[in-house]
Structure 1
Amino acid sequence: MRFLAITLIVHRPDPVTGVLPSTQERFQEVLDNAVLAEELGFDGFGVGERHERPFISSAPTVVLSHVAALTRRIRLFTAVTTLSLLDPVRAYEDYATLDHLAEGRLDLIIGKGNGTAQRELFHVTPEDQWDRNAESYEVFRQLWRQDKVTARTRFRPELTDAEVWPRPYQRPIRVWHGSATSKESVDLAARYGDPLFSANVTNPVEPYAELVRYYRERWAFYGHDPAALTVGAGSAGLYVARTSQEALEVYRPIFESTLAFQRQVGLPVVFGTLEDFVERSSALIGSPQQIVDKVHRYHERLGHSVLHVHADASGLTAAQHRSSLERFQSEVAPVLRKEIPDPPWAWAPVNPDSPDTLRTVSKEGDAA
């Protein structure tokens, strides 16, 4: 199993102290956490993309470019790239440039994105967002693979023998499809033989497991190699302590503050108590053995080989945050790495002259 640390760069007061860092301080926290993730042995670091409050992750390529300059080994992820809002030509240019700067360490997780405000900002409607996402991905995919592209499009000017630069470093780049609530993204991933990344955060596991089951059905329907099917999954929170009692004691004020915020802004409350949150959500809060056991329970439902955890302190003190990540890497990750298989491909930075390192192949021989 592989492990990512991911941030959406939420910018709001600390849930325990109430202190709001400046925008610059918040970005510096992200960079410090990326360096720490590499230092501790995480396999990837991800940055989300949102275009509305309380997020300041509207430019993930810029943030990840800085992370690329500060790190050498860790893979860089987008979480997610909102292709339904973006021009696929411009997105290609940004990410191809970033992948060169990162020397082939970039993975994309794409999706339509969430939130009414950002959809309205880009004049995208609920009726067309899935079509936009699919069209943008199809154009993006062609641009990454072909030197000249012709595409008949609905949502941007058509392309005729278009050349877009720079040409890619990874040939092709790996693209995951973010999955939260809809079968459309699941079917798109299966159609192209791409890996699926289940959000697995807001609700109990059942709706996410149902979408993963559907992904497996569609993967088989499109005739892809069963051995190449790959699933990643998120988690709703992280605090690894020496004992379960210590974990609950430290995390309780964080949970209660978050619960109050959800009620204040009118968000639905799914888990009304900390005990319910720890038991029924994907949050990894407890002793190392409790977390190992919980990841195994989720693996039985999702079959995932990649797991993301929160990169941010999110109310923990700096010392608690570092201690939790250290304990995760020293006492949890080694057990799960041994007991749950890795994805079926090489994880190391790629040689652009060896495209097979990032390619899965369907029965028809199409590169995925």
Structure 2
Amino acid sequence: MDIGIDSFAAILPDLATGAPPSATDRMAELLDEVEVADRVGLDVFGIGEHHRAEFLDSAPAIILAAAAARTRRIRLTSAVTVLSAADPVRVFQEFATLDLISKGRAELVVGRGSFGEAFPLFGLDTRAYDDLFAGKLDLFMHLGKTSHPRWQGRFRPELIGQGVFPRPYQERLPVWSGVGGTPQSFARAGVLGLPLMVAIIGGTFERFRPLVDLYYEAGARAGHDRATLKVGVHAMGFVAETNVAAGDAFFPGWAHLTETVGRERGWAPPTRAHFDAMAGPDGAFLVGDPTTVVAKIQKASAVLGGLSRITFQMSTALQDSAAMRRAIELLGNEVAPVARSIV
């Protein structure tokens, strides 16, 4: 099992003063976090994509390229690339370039995105939300097979054999399908034979088992060997020396961002009691001391039929750089060596 971190490059205010850090300082801290993750032997670091004031990750390939120059072995991925709102040719070129810089460590998780800001920003109709993703994913997968594609679709000018360069260092760029809770997304990934990255940001792991089963069933019907189909989980997570310390470090930032987004979506205000339930034995938050977190990973893998990767969404933690670095060290030194043996 791969163990890694996903970051949305959240830029959170100081809870005492209400003032956010400078964007320059926050970006420097983020790159330091990737360096620490590489040093302690974590397998993967992902950067999300958002087009909002709370996050600095609107250009993930650039952040990952900066990280590639400062790391040696950790794999570098998007988490996720909002392919529906992008030009697949340009995305392919960006990540092929990242693959060259990193000497074969680039990956992508592609998805439709859980926020809608990218669509009006780039002049796209949200009513075509699913069709945009399906068509652009088809093109992106085609680009991996040939340097001179011939392709025709609904949302992009036809390709008639123009060269798409550079080509990646790897023979094929690894592509995961990032999904939330939509059955057709799970089925689509299975039909295409893509590894599945499931975003579980609340509730329970058990709720997603029928959807994971749907993925495997769709893959089998499409002729894919079960052994080639992989499932990963992206979950809220943070590690500290004690469960209380982990919760105290993670809750304030999580509550701030949840309340901000919740005002737009009509959610009830977040409470510490709800958070503690999510961090408890039955919840889907991987927040606690190393022993607690390993047990939660083991449960998630058992419930979902075996996992190939778990990534911790840690960037909503209170912006205490020392606590963040310590959490990464604990994840790499104490959690990952045990979790990798879980099947």
Alignment partner, residue 277 of structure 1: 278
Distance 1:66 1:254, change over 3 A: closer
Does 2:332 align with 1:333?
Answer: no
Aligned length: 339
Alignment partner, residue 296 of structure 1: 298
SS in 2 for 1:4: strand
Alignment partner, residue 90 of structure 1: 90
Gaps of 5+ in 1: 341-368
Tell me the TM-score normalised to structure 2 length. 0.90
* Matched letter for residue 161 of structure 2: D
Alignment partner, residue 115 of structure 1: 115
SS in 1 for 2:69: helix
Q: Which moved more, 1:58-67 or 1:120-129?
A: 120-129
- Residues 233 and 306 of structure 1 are in contact (CA less than 8 Å); yes or no, is this contact kept in structure 2? yes
Give, in angstroms, the shift of residue 232 of structure 1: 0.6
- Residues 150 and 159 of structure 1 are in contact (CA less than 8 Å); yes or no, is this contact kept in structure 2? yes
* Matched letter for residue 103 of structure 2: E
Q: Which moved more, 1:173-182 or 1:294-303?
A: 294-303
Matches of 2:255 and 2:94, distance apart in 1: 40
Give, in angstroms, the shift of residue 104 of structure 1: 0.8
Matches of 2:147 and 2:254, distance apart in 1: 50
Matches of 1:246 and 1:62, distance apart in 2: 33
Matches of 1:20 and 1:36, distance apart in 2: 23
Tell me the TM-score normalised to structure 1 length. 0.85
* Matched letter for residue 124 of structure 2: V
Task: Describe how 1:309-328 pairs up with structure 2 within 5 A.
Answer: 309-312=312-315, 314-315=317-318, 317-328=320-331
**Superposition RMSD on alpha carbons, in Å?**
2.3
Q: Which moved more, 1:134-143 or 1:203-212?
A: 203-212
Give, in angstroms, the shift of residue 338 of structure 1: 2.1
Give, in angstroms, the shift of residue 60 of structure 1: 0.9
Give, in angstroms, the shift of residue 260 of structure 1: 4.9
Distance 1:164 1:225, change over 3 A: same
Give, in angstroms, the shift of residue 74 of structure 1: 0.7
Matches of 1:112 and 1:318, distance apart in 2: 31
Does 2:143 align with 1:163?
Answer: no
Identity of aligned residues (%): 33
Matches of 2:15 and 2:279, distance apart in 1: 18
Give, in angstroms, the shift of residue 58 of structure 1: 1.1
Give, in angstroms, the shift of residue 319 of structure 1: 2.7
Give, in angstroms, the shift of residue 287 of structure 1: 2.5
Matches of 1:41 and 1:256, distance apart in 2: 30
Task: Describe how 1:16-95 pairs up with structure 2 within 5 A.
Answer: 18-95=18-95
Distance 1:163 1:84, change over 3 A: same
* Matched letter for residue 301 of structure 1: V
Matches of 2:298 and 2:278, distance apart in 1: 17
Give, in angstroms, the shift of residue 68 of structure 1: 0.8
Alignment partner, residue 103 of structure 1: 103
Give, in angstroms, the shift of residue 209 of structure 1: 2.6
Distance 1:24 1:244, change over 3 A: closer
Matches of 1:179 and 1:299, distance apart in 2: 17
Distance 1:119 1:209, change over 3 A: farther
Give, in angstroms, the shift of residue 306 of structure 1: 0.4
